[in-house]
Amino acid sequence: MNFDIDLSVKIAGITMKNPVMVASGTFGFGREYNDFYDINKLGALATKGLTLLPKQGNPPPRIHETPAGMLNSVGLENPGIQKFIQEEWPHLSKLTIPIIANIDGDTVEDYHKIAKKLSILANLAALEVNISCPNVEKGGLAFGQEPESAFEVIKAVREATKLPIIAKLSPNVTHIQTIAEAVVSAGADAISLINTLLGMAIDIHNQRPVFHRNFAGLSGPAVKPVALRMVWEVHEAVNVPIIGMGGITTWQDAVEFILAGASAVAVGTANFVNPMVPIEIIEGLKTYLYLKERKLQDLIGAAHDTVPGT
């Protein structure tokens, strides 16, 4: 069925033709997925996390399957921004969808520098500032666990660029609302959450942790209830658009996140299981809105309404 349903959303000044994105680190720079479908059908694409210099990432194993999810310890392997600009940007910039560069740094100064360097790219839609990576020695998660350091990173990026800033938050905190308020007061235009939850696995044969860094990031359906709760909480705390992610596998999951307060959703781990998931979600959303006779805009945060269905 082809319903004439408007799925477009505007987030931090970025117009997306639908609210379904792909999550950083689960879609590379888009090349591999073009074999499955035209990736211009997506709402937007978030690149693999980029650092100033190339990063080799962590030694294997990097992935471990868990019931209803996976642990990863990739460690931000990426080509660095110079190679990104030379080798990946030419093909990314030809896409017709908004491209969001996910950035990471060891220091506040790193974030400032990388934001400045990427700001020269015409057509780059936004920066997603990862202050939540659990798999690196320095920076990453450490910045996202305290409101003061979260504020400092976003402020430094704000000073470096006019691009819209999406702050990517970590679920590994006690009060997500305090972190959300800090990044918004530092100049974030939108918030994405959640990154992965800290977890671990132990190999019972050699009686040692599976991962070299002991802990790794849990993602996939297992984290969805946690992610949904955090989107709900952040929606109540701040007034900027939210990109919800964490275990989204079906259109029904996406609808839950939107009702909790997400203006857009991102598909991560599910891409590894079924590359068609983002497309299936777009189609499912259309059918849902058609049958419910509702506009997408009216559904955002609607589960908070005191009178259901208003």
Ligand X SMILES: Cc1cc2nc3c(=O)[nH]c(=O)nc-3n(C[C@H](O)[C@H](O)[C@H](O)COP(=O)(O)O)c2cc1C
Point out the residues that are catalytic. Answer: 133
Start-to-end Cα distance in the chain: 27
Are the CB atoms for 78 and 50 separated by under 8 Å?
Answer: yes
Q: Which of 248, 281, 299, 300 binds ligand X (CB under 6 A)?
A: 248
Does 72 help bind ligand X (rule: CB under 6 A)?
yes
Tokens 């020269």 belong to residue: 120
Give the total of residues touching ligand X (CB under 6 A).
27
Q: Which of 11, 39, 44, 74 binds ligand X (CB under 6 A)?
A: 74
Report H helices in the chain: 80-83, 89-92, 108-118, 141-144, 147-160, 176-185, 224-237, 251-260, 270-273, 277-292, 296-299
Q: Which of 168, 188, 230, 234 binds ligand X (CB under 6 A)?
A: 168
| Residues 225, 203: Cα–Cα separation, whole Å | 27
Using only C-alpha atoms, what is the Rg of the chain?
Answer: 18
Q: Which of 130, 161, 170, 172 binds ligand X (CB under 6 A)?
A: 130
Residues 204-243 that bind ligand X (CB under 6 A): 219-220, 223
Nearer to ligand X, 248 or 296 (CB): 248
Does 48 help bind ligand X (rule: CB under 6 A)?
yes
Only one of the segments 17-25, 158-166, 207-215, 295-303 lies at the binding site for ligand X (rule: CB under 6 A); that segment is: 17-25
DSSP annotation of 87 reads I
Does 76 help bind ligand X (rule: CB under 6 A)?
yes
SS3 58: coil
218 φ, ψ to 5°? -90, 135
Tokens 């068609």 belong to residue: 276
- The upper half-sphere exposure of residue 197, i.e. CA atoms within 13 Å in the direction of its Cβ, equals 20
Only one of the segments 30-38, 208-216, 266-274, 281-289 lies at the binding site for ligand X (rule: CB under 6 A); that segment is: 266-274
Does 102 help bind ligand X (rule: CB under 6 A)?
yes
Does 136 help bind ligand X (rule: CB under 6 A)?
no
Does 246 help bind ligand X (rule: CB under 6 A)?
yes
CB atoms within 10 A of CB 298: 13
What residues make contact with ligand X under the rule CB under 6 A? 23-26, 48-49, 72, 74, 76, 102, 130, 133, 168, 194-196, 219-220, 223, 245-248, 267-270
